[in-house]
Every structure is written in C-alpha cells, then in structure tokens.
Amino acid sequence: MIPKDHPRYRSLVARERLARCAREGVVALEGLAAHGRGEAFDYLIGERTSESALLAARTAAAMLLSARHAVISVNGNTAALAAREVAALQQASGADVEVNLFHRTDERIALITRLLEEHGVRVLSGTAERLVPLAHDRGLCLPEGIGDADVVLVPLEDGDRCEALRKMGKAVITVDLNPLSRTARTATLTIVDELTRALPAITAACATLEPGERDRLIASLDNTYLLRAAIDEMRERLVHALE
Ligand code: ATP
C-alpha cells in the first residue's frame, strides 16, 4: 500500500498499475521501458501541465470536434493508465476508439478491449487489415476505424506509425512527454504532457470551445512553436534547478 502523503504518490500508483497490467498481459514489457522514458521527461517539465500544453490540448479538442471521423487509437499503456479518461474523452468528442498494438495477439486485443469496456469505452470491433504501410502489426487497422479516419489521436506512439499515418493524409494528434521524439516532431499536433493530465484537458476543452474558437485554434496551429515552448520550459527548470 503506497501512503497517500508520499511525495511521489501519483508516480508510484501509476508504476504499480503498469506492473500489475504487465503481469496480466495488458502492458507489454517494452511498454514499461517506454513509461520510464516518459517519467524522466515529466520530471523535467515539473509534473504539471504547461501553458503551451494546455493550448495544445484545446487545439486537439478543436480538431477532434471538427473532424469528419475522429478515432482514438489505444495501446496497452494507454489502456492501463487512462481507460476512464479515454471513456470521458470519447463521450465528450464523439470519437471512435480502436485498439492498436505493436505486440499484437488476439488475446491481448481481447484483454485490452475488456479493460476499456469495463471503464465505459465503446470499442470498435471488426477484421483488421494492413492498411497502414508498415511491416509490423501496427500497420493493421479497421477499414471502418483508423482506415477511414481523417483525424487520429495516437497517445504514446512510435515515430514510424505516426509518419505512416501522416503520409496517408491523416491529421495525427499525439500525447508525448518527449518533445524530441520522432513522433512528437512528425505529428500534426503534439501535446507535451503526461497522458492522465492531457486527456482530461482535451475532454474539458471539448465542453467549452465555441465554434469560432475551434476554427481559430486550428488555423493558428504551429507544432514547432509548441515543441519549442516545451523545450524552453524544461531548459528553464534545469537552469534554475539548484537555486
Ligand atoms: P519515437 O519513435 O517517436 O522517437 P520512442 O522510441 O521514444 O519514440 P516509444 O518507446 O514507443 O517511442 O515511447 C513512447 C513515448 O511515449 C516516449 O517518447 C515517452 O516519452 C512517452 N511516454 C511514455 N509514457 C508517457 C505518459 N504516461 N504520458 C505521456 N508520454 C509518455
């Protein structure tokens, strides 16, 4: 039992949950390593949502609400950390949810689908086809899901798939604490924030954006500016760390 007053309570709870989900097969062991990389960057950003991340989250809400067909692509880490937050975002944005895995087996797809459904997510089902030009199994997707989407939210993604989705003409929104990752630099829009803070921020924005504001946010989207702002934030914290 982790004491609630532990200074790293949130982080320890997340680790505990990921470890449990890894034992159950929801999270791949490689997913634990990816989480560790994320934690390090979260330390650098001060474990809080920056102004620029909030602007990115509002822009993400605008893109999801304005999409012809928005799909949220969920992997093992996202399901383990944020199933409830995905359900709330689906409710607020009307997006479809599809499970997409690097380490894909029918058993893991079923496990993750069940976990999401237990938290109130409606998960697309069907027969996946290799529609995204990638050799590994992340290329598999549903023709009526990611295959048809014009906007895809892919949290905690790897660079190859992000790039392949972009080449297919889709707008890609990602959540990635590492502003230097290939994903962060290839996505249409990158929210440099921790997943369990970023998804509620997008959900909250879905409820408050005016139609005019949606168009303004989309028209002024500048991902290089957002990435630079995140790097500046981290640099400032490093420069003043020991003061
Ligand atoms: P790329 O291929 O894009 O360069 P990568 O090889 O780092 O990235 P992965 O190993 O798949 O890609 O890691 C996924 C990314 O998700 C990492 O950049 C990590 O910083 C980030 N990440 C991990 N956990 C979280 C989290 N809880 N919230 C936000 N970002 C996270």
Atom 6 (ligand 1) nearest CA: 158
Average pLDDT of adjacent 10-residue blocks, the chain of 243 residues: 84 94 95 96 95 98 98 97 98 98 93 98 96 90 97 93 95 98 97 98 96 95 98 95 87
Residues sharing a CB contact under 8 Å with residue 235, sequence separation 6 or more, in sequence order: none
Residue type (1 letter), 111:
L
Nearest Cα neighbor of 153 from 79, 74, 72 is: 72
Mean pLDDT taken over the chain: 95
CA of 81 to the centre of ligand 1 (A): 14
81 annotated to bind ligand: no
- How many domains would you assign to the chain? 1
Structural domain containing residue 146:
51-240
Residue type (1 letter), 72:
I
Nearest ligand 1 atom to the CA of 185 is 3
pLDDT of residue 164: 95
Q: How many CB atoms lie within 10 A of CB 116?
A: 24
Q: Domain holding 146: CATH number?
A: 3.40.50.12640
- Residue 179 tokens read as 């502003």
Place of tokens 């030009």: 133
167 belongs to a structural domain: yes
CA of 98 to the centre of ligand 1 (A): 19
Could you report the per-residue pLDDT of 59-102, keeping only the tens digit for each? 999 999 999 999 999 999 999 999 999 999 999 999 999 999 98
pLDDT of residue 135: 86
Nearest ligand 1 atom to the CA of 178 is 20
34 belongs to a structural domain: no
What percentage of the chain carries pLDDT values higher than 90?
Answer: 90
DSSP type of residue 71: E
